[in-house]
Amino acid sequence: NEAGVLSGVVNISIAVTEGSQSRIGNIDIRGNSRTKDNVIRREVTVYPGEIFDMVKVRSSKTRLMHLGYFSDVRTMPLNTGDRDVSDLLMEVDEKQTGQFTAGIGFSSIDNLFGYIGVSQNNFDLFGWPYFTGDGQKMKFYAQLSADNQDYEINFVEPWFLEKPLEFGVDLYIKTRDYSEYDIDRIGCAFNLGKALN
């Protein structure tokens, strides 16, 4: 038009007034009947007294889901009666973390053989009698045939000395019986690692 303004286009101004920032009071964890509280809390990246940051809350939820112990993690703020402080609820749904396998097979080397495997991804080395809930990983595998036997045990502590260092131990025993000679191997390996950001 004559004023040089495009027809059908308008400018809109939006005025925003921020309210006061809310801080985190308590962090309440619910739903974990097997997994220990400290295993969950060490993956949470928000702390009581901090500004309530939903980006960090979502990051904490993602970290918990990546553990593989939970089928769902829900987070929500809880009213404390103080408008400047909100508690944080983290509610988890635990899932099965153990696995058992067994079977038989046939190969040209071993002929008929059998195997068995037991693993637990939320293991607790000192958690008698169920041995679950401390976030460790344990796996046992055995394969047996007439002439050969293999045994392996793997253990991983993801927070060694209460630090984000992964410490692992692998133990194995392997025996081979041949017509001319026999082989017996017993060994172990240790590893220490740190996750990259």
**Two tokens at 69?**
């112990």
| Rounded-to-integer distance, Cα 179 and Cα 195, Å | 47
Q: Is the dihedral of CA 51, 57, 58, 59 positive or negative?
A: positive
DSSP sequence for 147-189:
SEEEEEEEEEESSGGGSS-EEEEEEEEEEEE-SS-EEEEEEEE
Residue 86: strand, helix, or coil = strand
C-alpha 156/C-alpha 135 separation (Å) is 9
Whose structure tokens read 């009071």?
Answer: 25
- Enter the pTM of the model: 0.81
Q: Which helix (H) or strand (E) holds 61?
A: helix 54-66
Is 158:137 a contact under the CB 8 Å cutoff? yes
> 159 φ, ψ to 5°?
-125, 75
pLDDT at residue 42 in the model: 94
pLDDT for 109 equals 74
The residue ranges of the chain whose pLDDT is under 70 are: 1-7
**Confidence at residue 110, expressed as pLDDT on a 0 to 100 scale:** 72
pLDDT per residue as tens digits for the range 4-32: 556 678 899 999 887 778 899 999 999 99
Q: With contact defined as beta carbons under 8 Å apart, do 136 and 174 qualify?
A: no
Find the helix or strand (DSSP H, E) in which 60 lies: helix 54-66
Hey, what are 96's tokens? Answer: 């099965």
